[in-house]
C-alpha cells in the first residue's frame, strides 16, 4: 500500500512508469526515489515509516531537509579522498632513463674530442656517471613520493572521518529533536 508523502492519501495515480501522483493534493514523485529515501531513513534511524501518518511524513520531510545532503555527500568525499591518494601515487618518474639519455651527448662529445680507445672510455664514464646520478635522483624522489603518498593517505582518512562525524552529529541532533 502506498501513500502520498505530502498528504498521506492513498488516492494515487501512476502517471507513467515510475512516476506517482496524488489525486488529493496534486503532489507527484518518483516511486524509486521515495523508496530509496525510506530505505536510507530506516538504515540510519531504524525508523520504518508509515506515510499514512502525519508524524511519519513530517519526520521524513525533516530528515530530507536536515540529513539527506550530508548523507549523500559521503560518497563524494570518499572519491575525492581516493583521488588524493592516486594523484600522489602517480607522481613517480623515471629519472634513471632520462639521465642516461642526457649523458649520451656528453659521452659522444668526449668520444669525438679524444678519439680512439680513450674516447670510448670517456663515453662510457659520462654515460655511467649520468645514469648513476639519475638513479640517485630517483631514490631521492622515491622518498618524496612515498612521503607524499603517506600524507595523502592521512588526509584522505581525515576527510572521510570528518564527513562521517558530521553526519553522525547531525543524526544525533535530529534524533533528539524528532520522534515518531
Ligand atoms: Zn497528497
Same domain, yes or no: 52 and 83: no
- The residues, any chain, with a CB within 8 Å of residue 95's CB and separated by 6 or more, are 134, 135, 137, 138, 141
Please check whether residue 29 lies inside any domain of the structure.
yes
Centre of ligand 1 to C-alpha 3, Å, is 8
pLDDT in tens, 18-68: 899 999 999 999 999 999 999 999 999 999 999 999 999 999 999 999 999
Q: Look at residue 1 and tell me if it is in a domain.
A: no
Band of pLDDT at residue 97, cut at 50, 70 and 90: confident
Q: Compute the distance from residue 19 Cα to the ligand 1 centre, in Å.
A: 14
Residues 83, 20 share a domain: no
Q: Are residues 60 and 79 in the same domain?
A: no
Place of cell 664514464: 125
How far apart are the CA of 17 and the centre of ligand 1, in A? 19
Burial class for 116, CB neighbours closer than 10 Å (0-12, 13-18, 19+) = exposed
User: Per mean pLDDT, which range of 52-61, 106-115, 120-129 is the poorest?
Assistant: 106-115
Task: Round to whole Å and give the CA distance between 112 and 92.
Answer: 35
Which residues are found with C-beta within 5 Å of the ion, ligand 1? 4, 6-7, 9, 22, 24-25, 27
Task: Compute the distance from residue 21 Cα to the ligand 1 centre, in Å.
Answer: 8
Locate 117 and state its grid cell.
680507445
* Structural domain harbouring 73: 69-177
Amino acid at each position: 500500500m502506498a501513500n502520498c508523502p505530502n498528504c498521506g492519501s492513498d488516492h494515487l495515480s501512476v502517471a507513467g512508469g515510475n512516476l506517482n501522483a496524488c489525486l488529493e493534493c496534486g503532489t507527484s514523485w518518483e516511486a524509486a526515489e521515495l523508496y530509496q529515501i525510506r530505505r536510507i531513513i530506516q538504515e540510519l534511524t531504524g525508523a520504518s515509516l508509515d506515510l499514512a501518518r502525519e508524524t511519519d511524513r513530517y519526520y521524513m520531510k525533516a530528515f530530507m531537509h536536515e540529513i539527506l545532503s550530508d548523507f549523500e555527500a559521503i560518497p563524494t568525499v570518499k572519491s575525492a579522498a581516493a583521488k588524493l591518494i592516486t594523484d600522489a601515487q602517480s607522481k613517480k618518474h623515471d629519472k634513471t632513463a632520462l639521465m642516461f639519455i642526457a649523458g649520451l651527448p656528453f659521452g659522444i662529445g668526449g668520444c669525438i674530442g679524444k678519439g680512439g680507445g680513450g674516447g670510448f672510455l670517456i663515453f662510457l664514464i659520462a654515460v655511467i656517471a649520468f645514469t648513476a646520478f639519475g638513479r640517485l635522483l630517483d631514490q631521492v624522489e622515491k622518498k618524496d613520493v612515498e612521503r607524499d603518498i603517506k600524507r595523502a593517505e592521512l588526509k584522505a582518512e581525515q576527510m572521510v572521518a570528518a564527513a562521517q562525524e558530521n553526519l553522525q552529529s547531525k543524526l544525533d541532533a535530529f534524533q533528539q529533536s524528532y520522534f515518531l
